[in-house]
Structure 1
Amino acid sequence: MNPIDTRQILNWDQVKVHLQPNLCIECQLVPQQPLQCYRCQKLLCQTCHGDLKQKSRGPKIFCQKCKALNYFNPANNAIYQSYRDMVIGCVNRRYGCKVTLDYKKYQKHVEECEFQRIPCPSPGCFVTTLKRAKGDHLQVCEYVIETCQYCNKQFNRKSMAYHQEKCNGKDVQQIDLASLKSDFLRLRSKLDAAISQFEQSAEIALLEQKVIKQQLEIQQLKNNINQ
């Protein structure tokens, strides 16, 4: 977690008396999840702690205050209490974010902030853009990976047009389309024949019903005459 620059603290003049003793002893910034020297109680931010730990190559870290190798443990609640009155401007303020936060909410906001600058995810593209504008950039980015509709191979958008002009799969697909068209016409012919046959069968059935009806009427007339 990156520490908070004191220039981001909008009410610095009001809180600096309480904050200055609790800044990171290395970078003089407000640490997030601070670590505290077990001997002198001075603080390190996570970034400086990581850098010093690499140099020390052991569990103990050289403390600038004690001038000795000491253990650094998570800070106590009193340290966090000293941070509670801060009014912090987002680190992305220069890019347009106007949000102000307290210490507890700061890190979560920074992780989600739509005004943070992020690199384009497309391989080979070195553009950085605002998180909120990522979609707009990807619509025009020449390095977005696309799949060829003919051979299913992947190329960036910049190379795709040239590839598709030369793609061997293009001819194969055209042959496949011709074959599919032929199969479709053959099936359509069979379907038309089946429909015609069905319609003829329906007409025959209708005629048979009429004949049966007429036979019944004739039989009824004969019965009436005999009576």
Structure 2
Amino acid sequence: MGYDLERFVGYVNEGLLCSICRDVLEDPLQAPCEHAFCTACIHGWLVHHSNCPEDRQVIDVSLLRPLYRYMKNDLNRLQLHCRNREYGCEMVCSLESIDRHERECEYSQIPCSNAGCTVQIERRNLDGHLAVCEFRSRECPNGCGYTILSAEDTQHNCVAELRTELELLRSEMICRVEEAKHEMESRLDSQRRHMVQKESILQNEIEELKSQMSRMMSDVRSLMAAERQHRQELEQAELEKRELMELLKGLQKDCRLTTTEGSRKSNFRPLTRLESVKRKPREVTVI
């Protein structure tokens, strides 16, 4: 619904009126055919219709657009009375600022803020009403600290209220203790399951490490045995090397002796050790 035309001061252009409610446009939208409507009015119309209420051209919600800027400016410059005029407000302001004024207007009717009170009162008189409202709350004058309503003054009993408060606190404390207990038990169970799982994993890792250690010890023993065998082979090879060196030295010595005596006796040359070995007659086996 739009703004009541009677609230406006001076002439209002026909183009600034809603084609449905015939009041001044509020939150306006414009159809492709350039007819303008209040947002609430055109949305309500399109629920049951699919055309423009002025010229019956087909329209859809998706085709609606904001009002042209020049029309929007003309609309915002219109002057109108505050809606609280009947309560005594004499403010006249532009349509652009009317909402801000009415939210703060001293003549606006607002509800009492005290729970249970249904009185509607002007904003300017609210403080005076709250001071005498029968539903106002205040702290007990006897010092128990309990907040009471004025209507309950004659029924208020400090001892009974404190006992009730104490029982409520006790019940709340018991509930919190039980919740904390259950939460702690749940955490302990979760931690216990985690520790058991961790222990199982560690035990498996220990067994795996033992197996690896056993294989490593076996490999070490095999390497040590191979090393001993290799050392023995080296020692044997060294021994054979020395024997061969001794034999070679003996052969060289025999060669030198043979060369010296060959120059003295051309027809006689003693056999070297090697030649004697080579020419050693074979034993003949008599059958």
**Aligned match of 2:107:** 115
CA distance in 1, matches of 2:37, 2:144: 56
**Aligned match of 1:218:** none
**Aligned match of 1:22:** 16
Shift of 1:153: 4.5
Shift of 1:128: 0.7
Shift of 1:138: 0.8
Q: CA RMSD for the aligned pairs?
A: 3.1
- Give the SS at the match of 2:9: coil
Contact 2:18 2:24 in 1 (8 A): yes
Aligned length: 160
Match for 1:7: what amino acid? E
Point out the structure with max Rg over C-alpha: 2
Structure 1 residues 55-74: aligned runs within 5 Å: 55=47, 63-67=52-56, 68-71=58-61, 72-74=64-66
Structure 1 residues 49-198: aligned runs within 5 Å: 49=42, 51-52=44-45, 55=47, 63-67=52-56, 68-71=58-61, 72-148=64-140, 150-164=143-157, 167-169=160-162
Q: TM-score when scaled to structure 2?
A: 0.47
Shift of 1:10: 2.0
Contact 1:146 1:160 in 2 (8 A): no
CA distance in 1, matches of 2:26, 2:140: 47
Q: What is the aligned counterpart of 2:34 among 38, 41, 45?
A: 41
> Among the aligned pairs, what percent are the same residue?
24
Uncovered stretches (5+) of structure 2, i.e. residues with no partner? 166-287
CA distance in 1, matches of 2:123, 2:99: 16
Shift of 1:101: 0.9
Greater helix fraction, Structure 1 or Structure 2: 2
Contact 1:151 1:167 in 2 (8 A): no
Match for 2:126: what amino acid? K
The CA deviation string for residues 6-25 of structure 1, in whole angstroms up to 9 with x for no partner, is 111121xxx23x2x222122
Q: TM-score when scaled to structure 1?
A: 0.58
